[in-house]
């Protein structure tokens, strides 16, 4: 099937349109959790294995959250499972399941596996403000007071102090 063209697969499907569909009996291996009558999941030795009937269809490591979200969203999008079934089987909030189905439908695999660039906000601690803050700290003003005067959050100033971009005199 991998070597066949789409036309060949379509032609074969047309020829087989009168063939009797095969019934997939819901016979699952022991130790699986049923998602619905066709799909089940098994977690064993750090691996999560998805089973359709008695055949494993997909697996991933149990701590791989991105792959879990991707594959369960794919199951829902293809109609193999419903969002409430996934939520119930895995103990995940339904809103979370729906959120990742939306990501899958809008972005496909890229929504789960592409590295996202972090967008940083503009720096509040410019060189000019840093100099003013350092002068105020050297005169004995506390961080909260410096923040109020310069319109900078105290947490921003504390980060600068921790990273040694600002120096505070030790009180004796």
pLDDT (tens digit, 9 = 90+) per residue, 32-75? 899 999 999 999 899 999 998 888 999 999 999 999 999 999 99
pLDDT beyond 80 at 123: no
What contacts 70, CB < 8 A, 6 or more positions away?
Answer: 100, 104, 109, 112, 113
pLDDT for 169 equals 75
pLDDT beyond 90 at 118: no
Structural contact between residues 54 and 68, judged by C-beta atoms closer than 8 angstroms: no
Distance (Å, whole) CA 144 – CA 122: 21
Lowest mean pLDDT, pick from 14-23, 108-117, 124-133, 161-170: 14-23
Confidence of residue 103 (pLDDT cuts 50, 70, 90): very high
Q: Which of 83, 73, 81 is nearest to 105 (CA)?
A: 73
Domain boundaries, the chain: 26-113, 127-162
pLDDT beyond 50 at 1: no
| Whole-Å CA distances, 132 to 21, 146, 157, 171 | 78, 9, 12, 20
DSSP class per residue in 92-121: --HHHHHHHHHHHHHHTTHHHHSPPPPPPP
pLDDT for 106 equals 95
Confidence of residue 27 (pLDDT cuts 50, 70, 90): confident
Number of alpha carbons in the 13 Å side-chain half-sphere of residue 33: 14
pLDDT for 35 equals 94
pLDDT (tens digit, 9 = 90+) per residue, 128-155? 999 999 999 999 889 999 999 999 988 9
Structural contact between residues 114 and 100, judged by C-beta atoms closer than 8 angstroms: no
């Amino acid at each position: 099937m991998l070597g066949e063209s789409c036309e060949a697969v379509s032609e074969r499907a047309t020829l087989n349109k009168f063939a009797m569909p095969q019934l997939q009996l819901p016979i699952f291996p022991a130790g699986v959790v049923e998602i619905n009558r066709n799909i089940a999941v098994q977690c064993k030795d750090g691996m999560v294995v998805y089973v359709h009937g008695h055949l494993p269809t997909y697996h991933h490591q149990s701590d791989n959250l991105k792959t879990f979200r991707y594959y369960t969203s794919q199951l829902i999008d293809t109609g193999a499972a419903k969002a409430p079934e996934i939520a119930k089987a895995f103990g995940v909030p339904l809103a979370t399941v729906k959120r990742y189905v939306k990501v899958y439908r809008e972005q496909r695999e890229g929504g789960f596996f592409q590295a996202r660039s972090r967008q940083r906000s503009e720096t509040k601690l410019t060189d000019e403000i840093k100099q003013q803050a350092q002068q105020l700290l050297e005169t004995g003003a506390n961080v909260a007071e410096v923040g109020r005067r310069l319109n900078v959050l105290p947490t921003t100033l504390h980060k600068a102090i921790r990273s040694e971009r600002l120096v505070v005199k030790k009180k004796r």
